[in-house]
Chains A and B, each alone.
Chain A
Amino acid sequence: MANQEILIEAKALVKRYGDFTAVNGIDFQVRKGESFGFLGPNGAGKSTTMRIIAATLTRTSGDISILGKDPEKFGPEIKAHLGVVPQTDNLDNALTVEENLYIYGRYFGLSKKFIKPKIEELLDFAQLVEKRDVKVEALSGGMKRRLTIARALVSEPEILMLDEPTTGLDPQARHILWDRLFRLKEQGVTLLITTHYMDEAEQLCDRLMVMDKGSIMAEDSPAGLIKSYSTKEVLEVRFGSDRNAVVAPQLKEMCERIEVLPDRILLYAEDGESLLHELGQKGLHPLTSLVRRSSLEDVFLRLTGRTLID
């Protein structure tokens, strides 16, 4: 991957709205064929960064190039090679599923001859063959999302940008979408994803940029981030809301790191089961306990002192 061509490069990128700084001097590179994720809570600056890349928002300062071009000077030339899936579906409600795919192809100047077989391919990809003549407003949330993604693929874009692709979807719909995105990745499409779901980031992204308050907190592969910023395992214990804070100082001495949350305490250790056993030996018996592997949520907690979904 390191030898692959750089498709997106940002240096000291800043976006301000009056006194509010949405993006605060960030640097990053995205290479061809990579699946790159922006992970962070709402308001972290992910969507703003995506809009600057998509040439629909001007930056305040810094440099950015997409496919070697400045989006403020070459908007249409850059957009010609992007597939954009916005946070909120903006399909044409007056048209059918098939017509939505058709007209989007026309916006890219594609011929009817090319679009016609492409529609069949995309309907199949999005599992919407039977819904082709249905008006968009009659589709479920998951179907609309799949159609929005299929629509973004009509021009076979070099870069597919997905802003919170599975927010609001049920677990089954999320897994279908993930499967479709995996297939695209296998075809060599560069994916740019913003999400505040750590499981989504772990599933889909080769590399992640953790953002908070417009700044980059860390950048690495999901496994690399966990290795750098957390332990192998986490022991989650509950002593009851009154006692959690009381026992916390005692627990702190028994593990590498501790996070006291309102409802539970997280104990970071290489071996969670051994730690739980040790707790019992010292007469500390939590009401509930759970040993799990460290996740990106723990990384985020370590980096920012907050959970992803506050």
Chain B
Amino acid sequence: MAPRKGSLVLVDAERVKRWGALAVVEVRVMTYLKYLPALLSVAIANPFLYLLAVGVGVGKLINTHSGGVDGVKYLTFLAPALLATAAIQNAMDETVFPTLEGFKWHKNFFAMNATPISGKQIVNGVLVAAMSRVLFSVTVYGIIVYLFGGFTSARGWLSILTSLAAGASFGAFIMGIAAWAKNDDSFFMILGRFVMMPLFLFSGTFYQLSTMPIYLRWIGWLSPLWHTTELGRFLTYGHHITALMFVVHIGYIAAMFTFGITFSHRQFERRLTK
């Protein structure tokens, strides 16, 4: 047994205060790697099946009858929205599940917080790790869209950037909600049925939001999916948006991210010291 040095010599609290979130990223990535085959299968199978059904099937119908949407073929119109949707779904999986696990199921956030790691660092670490999975998934999605001929130019790849923004803003916010939720069973039910589904259906994903009746458009206005999809369509094929709306979209996403991360920091700190 090596002679004992003691934590006064070994541990530098200032260093942990600066870099502690990276240890949280490390444990999350270690966990992902345990499930790599499953993650890879989902990352490939999901977009493949989706594009086959909606992109090709429905797309052919629309392209044949109306020559596409917004001046481009349907899959090109759809791609930024699908990538953003995948980003939001992945961000939700990798922020909500670890949060419920960390606070309720296995309580490993309390183990982390018994070390110099703070609640804020746990939030930052979980979110950064979640974004690494989002990047992985939307890149795979992008490659499959490309193979299906959904990108009409190299600009198509820019939809990866806008989908990352969607994932980050949604993940930062929903993590705080998951930390705040007391009953995790009804939480999933509410999240799935009353948040994710309406977001997906009413955010201009399959058609432009302007074609919706005015009383339903507010769902899209609140949704990070609509804002990032609009930006994605603008960047990838030149969908028309005014300068003001360009600023509104970026501002909304930035505001949601800033509010979300601040809210999550507070919720984590509160729950860890309750």
Interface residues, chain A, with chain B CB atoms under 8 Å away: 54, 56-58, 75-77, 79-82, 84, 86, 88, 90-95, 99, 103-104, 106-110, 114, 117-118, 121, 151, 155-158, 187-188
Whether A107 contacts B116 by the Cβ 8 Å rule is: yes
Interchain nearest-CB distance for A295 vs B (Å): 32
The 7 A-B residue pairs whose C-beta atoms are closest, nearest first, are A76-B116, A107-B115, A84-B114, A80-B13, A106-B23, A90-B107, A109-B16
Whether B8 contacts A92 by the Cβ 8 Å rule is: no
Give the docked Cα–Cα distance between A93 and B112 (Å): 14
Give the docked Cα–Cα distance between A84 and B110 (Å): 10
Query: What are 21 A-to-B residue pairs whose CB atoms are below 8 Å?
Result: A56-B272, A79-B116, A80-B12, A80-B13, A86-B114, A88-B107, A90-B111, A92-B31, A92-B106, A92-B108, A107-B115, A107-B117, A109-B11, A109-B12, A109-B15, A109-B20, A109-B116, A110-B11, A155-B115, A156-B6, A158-B6
Whether B113 contacts A56 by the Cβ 8 Å rule is: yes
Residues of B within 8 A of A93 (CB): 106
Give the docked Cα–Cα distance between A76 and B118 (Å): 7
Residues of B within 8 A of A104 (CB): 111, 115
Chain A contact residues, majority secondary structure: loop
Give the docked Cα–Cα distance between A114 and B1 (Å): 13
Give the docked Cα–Cα distance between A111 and B266 (Å): 30
Whether B112 contacts A158 by the Cβ 8 Å rule is: no
Residue in contact with A109 in the complex, picked from B19, B31, B273, CB distance below 8 Å: B19
Residue in contact with B7 in the complex, picked from A54, A75, A81, CB distance below 8 Å: A81
In the complex, residue of chain A having the shortest beta-carbon distance to the beta carbon of B115: A107
Interchain nearest-CB distance for B167 vs A (Å): 22
Instruction: Decide: A79 near B26, CB < 8 A? Known: A107-B20, A187-B4.
Output: no
Interchain nearest-CB distance for B168 vs A (Å): 24
Interchain nearest-CB distance for A60 vs B (Å): 13
Instruction: Decide: A103 near B23, CB < 8 A? Known: A92-B106, A156-B10.
Output: yes
Scoring B residues 1 to 38 as 1 if CB is less than 8 Å from chain A, else 0, what string do you get? 11011111011110111011001001100110010000
Whether A91 contacts B7 by the Cβ 8 Å rule is: no
Interface residues, chain B, with chain A CB atoms under 8 Å away: 1-2, 4-8, 10-13, 15-17, 19-20, 23, 26-27, 30-31, 34, 106-108, 110-118, 272-273
Residues of B within 8 A of A86 (CB): 110-111, 114
Interchain nearest-CB distance for B119 vs A (Å): 10
Give the docked Cα–Cα distance between A108 and B114 (Å): 10
In the complex, residue of chain B having the shortest beta-carbon distance to the beta carbon of A93: B106
Residue in contact with B8 in the complex, picked from A56, A81, A84, A107, CB distance below 8 Å: A81
Interchain nearest-CB distance for B158 vs A (Å): 35
Give the docked Cα–Cα distance between A56 and B119 (Å): 11
Whether B7 contacts A155 by the Cβ 8 Å rule is: yes
Whether B118 contacts A75 by the Cβ 8 Å rule is: yes
Interchain nearest-CB distance for A122 vs B (Å): 10
Give the docked Cα–Cα distance between A91 and B12 (Å): 23
In the complex, residue of chain B having the shortest beta-carbon distance to the beta carbon of A151: B111
Whether B116 contacts A108 by the Cβ 8 Å rule is: yes
Whether A79 contacts B27 by the Cβ 8 Å rule is: no
Give the docked Cα–Cα distance between A76 and B113 (Å): 9
Whether A103 contacts B20 by the Cβ 8 Å rule is: no
In the complex, residue of chain A having the shortest beta-carbon distance to the beta carbon of B114: A84
Whether B107 contacts A108 by the Cβ 8 Å rule is: no
Give the docked Cα–Cα distance between A106 and B8 (Å): 16
Give the docked Cα–Cα distance between A1 and B16 (Å): 33
Give the docked Cα–Cα distance between A107 and B31 (Å): 15
Whether B118 contacts A158 by the Cβ 8 Å rule is: no
